[in-house]
Amino acid sequence: METDASLVESLTITFENKFRHLPVTQNRQVAGALSCRDIPVDYWIMWKNWVTAETEPKSAPGC
pLDDT in tens, 14-56: 888 989 999 999 999 999 998 888 888 888 888 888 888 887 7
Stated pTM of the model: 0.59
Does a structural domain hold residue 58? Answer: no
Does a structural domain hold residue 62? Answer: no
Does a structural domain hold residue 55? Answer: no
Does a structural domain hold residue 59? Answer: no
- The backbone region for 25, taken as left when phi is positive above 0, alpha when psi lies in -120 to 50, beta otherwise, is beta
Does a structural domain hold residue 23? Answer: yes
Does a structural domain hold residue 1? Answer: no
- Domain limits for position 33: 7-50
What's the number of domains the chain is made of?
1
